[in-house]
Amino acid sequence: MIETRPELKNISDYVPGKSIEEICEQYGLKSAVKLASNENPLGPSPKAQKAFCEMASQLHLYPRGNAPHLISAIAKKFGVNTNQIVLGNGSDEIIDMVGKAFLQPGDECIGIRTTFSVYSATADLYGAKFISVAAGEERPALDLYLQALTPKTRAIFICNPNNPTGFYYSEKELLDFLQKVPQNVLVFLDEAYSEFATAPDYPKLISKLAEFPNLLLNRTFSKIYGLAGLRIGYAFSSPEIIAAIWKVKPPFDVNLPAQAAATAALSDENHIQQSIALTVSGAQFLTENFAKLGFSVLPTQANFICVHIGENCKQLTEFLERNGMIVRYLKSFGLPESIRVTIGKPEENQLLIDLVQKWKEECQLAK
Ligand SMILES: *Cc1c(COP(=O)(O)O)cnc(C)c1O
């Protein structure tokens, strides 16, 4: 038997949301609705689909590793220099590349338990210790992160808005926090859902990058741009951090159709606005209707809601799956009594509410 690196011994497999195919096979269904992985219910922008298809005849060619067209389109859209941008095969790969470039055994990273699990998994993979300063539904004070700083701290991971709870930190809170973090500690701010945030005080930190060279803003084409299946993400930071990440980046990780589709998606303002509008109205609908059924929903700035179901939460998720509705059971996030629901199309949201109501009635009959 070949020995793995010792770091691998403690690493468990990532638990993704269940797929439509899986559920249809398992329960013998013809179709299912998936509100489990925060995908865009509108699908990819028609412009992105067209750009993707146009690449079909060129698939024998290697992509350009430095993706000049996409990088300039991102730079132009967000008003940053091209040397402040890096791409990845999904923003998951950006997290991994940060690990590769900056973490080593003995280092410490700070984060929380009830968030995207890739941060702690990446710390584990590179032998760094992941220090969790909070767990549960509540929004932790940023001071908790500061109190956990030690000379060994290399990175702080904050998801804003947070997956799966939906809370956010305001611009003022984060600027105040960033002032207090030592410059040799990377602040990895995951903004995968930033485009959905409508709160007026939700941070716009791109203009502050020059002030905080240790700040990295992680973004993705998987959520609002509806390109999760293509695997493409991007990040903004100082030229120093970006250069370090390019050094560890596999040369052809961002594929040719992904580059083309992402470039087209960036400019489809109509699709973006439609996606935001659908999310905002859907979140309101779901929150009100879950409340009517007696379940509390956390306030959200993202394209999902976190619903507290109670001790028979697992039973509900199984009932929903049997009926062709996939939501995310949050046990693996440390919330065994809650589910995360991606805001879907109006008819999908309605179907979910109808099913939850039916389940509730069946539970009461059984008593
Ligand atoms: C979905 C998500 C991402 C995006 O991952 P990709 O690899 O870009 O698909 C990143 N961070 C968080 C918190 C997410 O929920």
* Each residue's pLDDT tens digit, 129-167: 999 999 999 999 999 999 999 999 999 999 999 999 999
pLDDT tens digits for range 289-306: 999 999 999 999 999 999
Q: How confident is the model at residue 1 (pLDDT cuts 50, 70, 90)?
A: confident
Residues 283, 301: Cα–Cα separation, whole Å: 9
Mean pLDDT of 113-122: 97
- Which residues share a beta bridge with 235? 86, 218
Residue 207 and residue 235 in contact, taking contact as beta carbons nearer than 8 Å: no
- Cα–Cα distances in angstroms (integers) from residue 200 to residues 161, 167, 172, 272, 343, in the given order: 13, 14, 12, 18, 21
User: Tell me, what's the pLDDT at 10?
Assistant: 79
The residues, any chain, with a CB within 8 Å of residue 262's CB and separated by 6 or more, are 48, 70, 221, 225, 227, 230, 232
Name residues whose C-beta falls within 8 Å of residue 1's C-beta, 6 or more positions apart in sequence: none
Q: How far apart are CA 229 and CA 150, in angstroms?
A: 39
Nearest CA to ligand 1 atom 15: 163
State in Å: Cα 231 to ligand 1 middle: 10
Encode burial over 141-166: b for 16+ CB neighbours within 10 A, e otherwise: ebeebeebbeeebbbbbbbbbbbbbb
Asked if the model's pLDDT at residue 12 lies above 90, the reply is no
Measured in angstroms, how far is the CA atom of residue 192 from the centroid of ligand 1? 6
Q: Spell out the SS3 assignment of the chain.
A: CCCCCHHHHHCCCCCCCCCHHHHHHHHCCCCCEECCCCCCCCCCCHHHHHHHHHCHHHCCCCCCCCCHHHHHHHHHHHCCCHHHEEEECCHHHHHHHHHHHHCCCCCEEEECCCCCCHHHHHHHHCCCEEEECCCCCCCCCCHHHHHCCCCCEEEEEEECCCCCCCCCCCHHHHHHHHHHCCCCCEEEEECCCHHHCCCCCCCCCHHHCCCCCCEEEEEECCCCCCCHHHCCEEEECCHHHHHHHHHHCCCCCCCHHHHHHHHHHHCCHHHHHHHHHHHHHHHHHHHHHHHHCCCEECCCCCCEEEEECCCCHHHHHHHHHHCCEECEEHHHHCCCCEEEEECCCHHHHHHHHHHHHHHHHHHHHHC
Within 6 Å (CB) of ligand 1, which residues are found?
38, 90-92, 116, 159, 163, 190, 192, 220, 222-223, 228, 233
Task: Work out the percent of the chain whose per-residue pLDDT is above 90.
Answer: 95
From 93, 190, 194, 230, mutation site for ligand 1 pocket: most ligand atoms within 8 A of C-beta: 190
The fraction of the chain above a pLDDT of 70, given in percent, is 100
pLDDT for position 13: 80
Q: What would the mean pLDDT of 267-274 be, rounded to a whole number?
A: 98
Q: Tell me which of 118, 165, 225, 340 to substitute to probe ligand 1's pocket, judged by most ligand atoms within 8 Å of the beta carbon.
A: 118
Q: What confidence score (pLDDT) does residue 239 get?
A: 98
Q: Pocket of ligand 1, candidates 14, 160, 219, 220: which has the most ligand atoms within 8 Å of its Cβ, to mutate?
A: 220
Centre of ligand 1 to C-alpha 220, Å, is: 6
Report, as an integer, the average pLDDT of 44-56.
98
pLDDT, position 17: 78
Q: How far apart are CA 40 and CA 343, in angstroms?
A: 8
User: So what's the pLDDT on residue 367?
Assistant: 73
Nearest protein Cα to ligand 1, atom 3: 192
For the chain, the average pLDDT equals 97
pLDDT band with cut points at 50, 70 and 90 for residue 18: confident
Mean pLDDT within 94-108 = 98
Q: Which atom of ligand 1 is nearest to the CA of 38?
A: 1
pLDDT digit string, tens, across residues 323-342: 999 999 999 999 999 999 99
- Residue 364 above 90 pLDDT? no
Work out the average pLDDT over 13-32.
90
Tell whether the model's pLDDT for residue 28 goes beyond 90: yes
- Residue 157 Cα to ligand 1 midpoint, Å, equals 13
Q: Strands 304-308 and 186-190: what pairing?
A: unpaired
pLDDT(258) > 80: yes
* Burial bucket for residue 340 (CB in 10 Å: 0-12, 13-18, 19+): buried
Amino acid 11: pLDDT: 84
Question: What pLDDT is stored for residue 9 in this prediction?
Answer: 85
What value does the mean pLDDT take over residues 339-357?
98
Average pLDDT of span 85-101: 98
